[in-house]
């Protein structure tokens, strides 16, 4: 069969079609809408396995990091194929690995930001002129959602301290990147993830970003069961280094909020190296580098 996911540029409608095609080809994959973006685009969760608890993999928090959605969807495709045909992935028996477990994927957390970074004004609807002014016409660098809020600065974990840091860096309101909003959880994209985690038993979360080939796993030295050990396993299987974020990226993030709220492990993985947005074709090499890490994660 021809692959559904390739390492090329996709817009929102094409990503949406990929998700529909995956669920049609692989009935083991269930899909549901867990929220809507500011523009009204669907934020979808894809689940494999049946269990009251799940692992949550997420991607595309930032518009100019949309390659992470493609990488995660390719993993989903290969995972579904392995389950359906009883094959191994990264030398792991996937069907056996998922017995009594489930894994959920939200590959497109910020669909509006991805459309803006890719398409410019045509991805903004009635906010086209406003986004053009805010970005100075350099749409490719856009990270935020359609309101100019950086989703990974909008979670209620050290949000006030992060806002002070933003202001020290000259960020006082909506911007292409780094503005955490007027209050925590103000954005529908943030709310979708918060609601999902509060309504499910999530064992740990893993978020894909770009770039740097590093893994962030700690937040404020909050103890989590096996968090450090899991991070070491992820680092060993990917070749990525364990690291700590800089001041403008400390707090406000999804994994920070998850760790602080649930005292369970959370990880941010920065894929690849270069300048965002990374070229779509580089996704193939990035994927091969982290496939084992994503697969091993199913066992934990």
* Confidence band for 52, pLDDT divided at 50, 70 and 90: confident
- For the segment 126-175, what is each residue's pLDDT rounded down to a tens digit? 999 999 999 999 999 999 999 999 999 999 999 999 999 999 999 999 99
What average pLDDT does this structure show over 208-213? 97
Per-residue confidence (pLDDT) for residue 17, from 0 to 100: 98
Asked whether the predicted pLDDT for residue 248 surpasses 90, the reply is: no
H or E segment and range at residue 36: strand 29-36
- For the segment 22-34, what is each residue's pLDDT rounded down to a tens digit? 999 999 999 999 9
User: pTM to 2 decimals?
Assistant: 0.97
Return the ∠ at Cα 256 (arms to 212 and 216), rounded to 5°.
25
Per-residue confidence (pLDDT) for residue 48, from 0 to 100: 96
Asked whether the predicted pLDDT for residue 250 surpasses 90, the reply is: no
* Confidence band for 245, pLDDT divided at 50, 70 and 90: confident
Q: What is the 3-state secondary structure (H, E, C) of 216-247?
A: ECCCCCCCCCCHHHHHHHHHHHHCCEEECCCH
Per-residue confidence (pLDDT) for residue 246, from 0 to 100: 82
Three-state secondary structure call for residue 199: helix
């Amino acid at each position: 069969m021809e692959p559904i996911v390739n390492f090329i540029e996709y817009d929102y409608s094409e990503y949406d079609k990929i998700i529909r095609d995956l669920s049609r080809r692989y009935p083991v994959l269930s899909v549901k809408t867990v929220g809507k973006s500011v523009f009204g685009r669907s934020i979808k969760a894809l689940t494999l396995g049946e269990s009251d608890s799940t692992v949550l993999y997420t991607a595309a928090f930032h518009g100019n990091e949309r390659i992470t959605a493609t990488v995660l969807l390719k993993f989903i495709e290969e995972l579904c194929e392995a389950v359906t045909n009883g094959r191994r992935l990264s030398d792991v028996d996937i069907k056996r690995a998922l017995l009594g477990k489930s894994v959920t994927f939200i590959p497109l957390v910020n669909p509006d930001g991805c459309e803006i970074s890719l398409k410019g004004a045509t991805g903004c609807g009635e906010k086209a002129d406003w986004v053009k002014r805010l970005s100075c016409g350099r749409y490719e660098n856009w990270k935020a959602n359609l309101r100019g809020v950086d989703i990974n600065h909008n979670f209620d974990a050290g949000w006030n301290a992060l806002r002070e840091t933003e202001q020290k860096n000259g960020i006082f309101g909506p911007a292409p990147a780094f503005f955490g909003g007027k209050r925590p959880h103000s954005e529908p994209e943030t709310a979708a993830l918060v609601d999902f985690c509060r309504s499910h038993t999530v064992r740990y979360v893993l978020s894909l970003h770009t770039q740097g080939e590093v893994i962030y796993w700690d937040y404020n030295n909050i103890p989590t069961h096996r968090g450090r050990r899991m991070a070491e396993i992820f680092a060993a299987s990917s070749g990525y280094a364990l690291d700590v974020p800089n001041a403008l990226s400390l707090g406000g993030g999804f994994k920070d909020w998850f760790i602080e709220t649930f005292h369970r492990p959370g990880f941010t993985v920065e894929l690849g190296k270069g300048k965002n947005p990374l070229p779509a074709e580089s996704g193939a090499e990035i994927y091969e580098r982290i496939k084992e890490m994503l697969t091993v994660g199913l066992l934990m």
